[in-house]
Chain A
């Protein structure tokens, strides 16, 4: 396992200061985290990057790959509500094949839990500003703050006014480039074909009440000698058969719609120009307009808080890789280290506390810096 060199104490103190000063409580969540819970939240793709450990007879655990979920779990165990947690500690990630990245490294960060929209908007600006300051304190002169918004794609798709299943599918596959490309490539083309016998069954089911449809499907199983295994019931399967048939009849994207999605996803510019480009490519819809107005506000505040306007970039594609982010997302990148090795990252994850069993009203945002990457004499 490759360890990261230590950041010199005075450099570390400077990098730590912005986050440490803003937190009201320093926390140190357990290094060992339950594997199952983490994979449930982040998805199985994370497994390749985790160090999994197990004591004899014990449940599988992993070394914390970051602090977001461990701090969220700790926060909820204490009963939730509001909180401002500062942390500094080691995190562990297996390096991708053929790279010599450190697998054990220091993270310094802050997680903010608050109620209500106004507090959330302020927290967005605060966390991005702190991350910028922490990264900049390392002394690198080649930093830029990359901004994005996972929710913006959804608002944009809504503004296109697509048929229900198609819009839902596009939002769902936003994070999956291959599927999204396939859907875009299908634009203007024929509908996906459905096997005739299954299509006929779906047609019959569609004319029945939910209960009748489920009962009919049970009969179909019995006639075909199919045993029901594996959790999903007749009601669920019969309803999805109907939905699938509907979706296959629903029109694909038009060429024009596909082209606007492509143009939307290609937007990457100085924030003001990028937001103007989003407005230009999208039809005027209330939801999107509100989201863009909020972004205008955020940018003003970021500049007021001292982030240089010419160091900021906005990219619509940013941040579709992690499952639990659902709003603002940011990365501080160094030119020397490149986009694959960000100095600081963070984002909003409002739905995560609820998925962990917490109160749905709590809004959460967090950010962290990697001191060795921020330090000018550090990672090269």
Chain B
């Protein structure tokens, strides 16, 4: 049998639950093998796919190194791998969960520091006065360095932090931090505030592909199947089907107008963007077509699959 397509999903925490919900919603239920503590799994109906359960950080590493084909992890973790992420990893779909911002946070008591420009001035004063550079606690070295360089801030030192970064200023281990936050509550509780222009990255969980993994024709085919299902489910969430009893030619004008607004024709009906479903239905009834039945499709399979086409465009030809 040929080599399977390898996908990694988070193995613990809230992110794991959200990924499982998302897969189940797509009809791709995750079946963990080897009991509840197993770290291998399969996807319902996808024979050529092997699923590994890893930590989000390990998934970013594995995508980067090409040890897996596809994976779900945070954009913040992927970007932290350094260098040119686009050359190694392709983001296929933002998943809308696992949201977290990577931010620069300074003590609230620093009333004179609201922006990166303020921080640059204060950092320079510190090194000029004491000869020592201001310390920034973070585990996001690469993104901190790039962001600070972008803002012309050079007078600082990074103190690598393994965990509980937000406590570093209070503990005297650093003057400020760069860390992930979802609500900012933990930062506030530690006497810190986010700089006005200090959001380095608004991150969320992504379904991503490794460009370094070996991609056989079979693995590409498995990935395409999977992506088509995922895209079809996502498209279904955004559309509604409108049907009504057939009527005469007299009402063709209203249908043409709706098509011009983004609807597509169906036998005896229209497929419209979900947010326009009520207004479209009202226009149809106003034109004398009805009753209009609105239903939400489970899947909408388009002829093309842009994320897969984009992926193939950057993978080597086989």
Contact = CB atoms under 8 A, between A and B. Distances in A.
B268 to A, nearest CB: 56
A178 interface: yes
B141 A229 contact: no
B125 interface: yes
Interface stretch (B153-161, B201-209, B278-286, B293-301): B153-161
B157 A237 contact: no
Interface string A39-78: 1100111011000000000000000000000000000000
A240 B119 CA distance: 11
Interface of A: 36, 39-40, 43-45, 47-48, 97-98, 169, 172-173, 175-176, 178-179, 195, 198, 201, 217, 220-221, 224, 226-232, 237, 240-241, 244, 323, 355
Contacts of B157: 36, 39-40, 44
Given A44-B154, A229-B192, A230-B176, A201 B111 contact: yes
20 contacts: A39-B133, A40-B133, A44-B156, A44-B157, A45-B145, A45-B149, A48-B145, A169-B121, A172-B124, A178-B152, A198-B114, A229-B170, A229-B191, A230-B109, A230-B176, A232-B110, A237-B111, A237-B112, A244-B121, A355-B131
B179 interface: no
B104 interface: no
A349 B258 CA distance: 72
Interchain residue pairs A-B with the least CB separation, the first 5: A176-B152, A230-B169, A230-B107, A179-B152, A227-B191
A173 B151 CA distance: 11
A169 B141 CA distance: 27
B142 to A, nearest CB: 8
B30 interface: no
Interface in B176-195: 176, 190-192
A97 B83 contact: yes
A323 B154 contact: yes
B216 to A, nearest CB: 28
B109 A226 contact: yes
A154 to B, nearest CB: 14
A137 to B, nearest CB: 36
Interface residues of B, number: 40
B226 interface: no
B145 A195 contact: no
Interface in B110-139: 110-112, 114, 118, 120-122, 124-125, 131-133
Contacts of A226: 108-109, 191
Given A48-B145, A220-B111, A227-B109, A176 B154 contact: yes
Given A229-B190, A229-B191, A43 B154 contact: yes
A267 B168 CA distance: 46
A232 B84 contact: no
Contact of A230 (B106, B121, B133, B150): B106
Nearest to A356: B131
B192 A244 contact: no
Contacts of A179: 120, 152
A229 to B, nearest CB: 4
Which residue of B112, B118, B169, B191 has the most chain A CB atoms within 10 A of its CB atom? B112
A229 B145 contact: no
Given A36-B157, A97-B83, A231-B175, A178 B150 contact: yes
B152 A232 contact: no
Contact of A98 (B84, B106, B154, B191): B84
A217 B156 contact: no
B302 to A, nearest CB: 36
A241 B141 contact: no
A198 B111 CA distance: 8
A172 B120 CA distance: 10
A98 B172 CA distance: 39
A228 B107 contact: yes
A175 B107 contact: no
Nearest to A179: B152
B22 interface: no
Nearest to B177: A230
Interface string B1-37: 0000000000000000000000000000000000000
A36 B133 CA distance: 10
Given A36-B157, A175-B154, A232-B110, 9 more contacts: A45-B145, A178-B150, A201-B111, A226-B108, A227-B170, A229-B107, A230-B175, A232-B107, A241-B111
A47 B158 contact: yes
B148 interface: yes
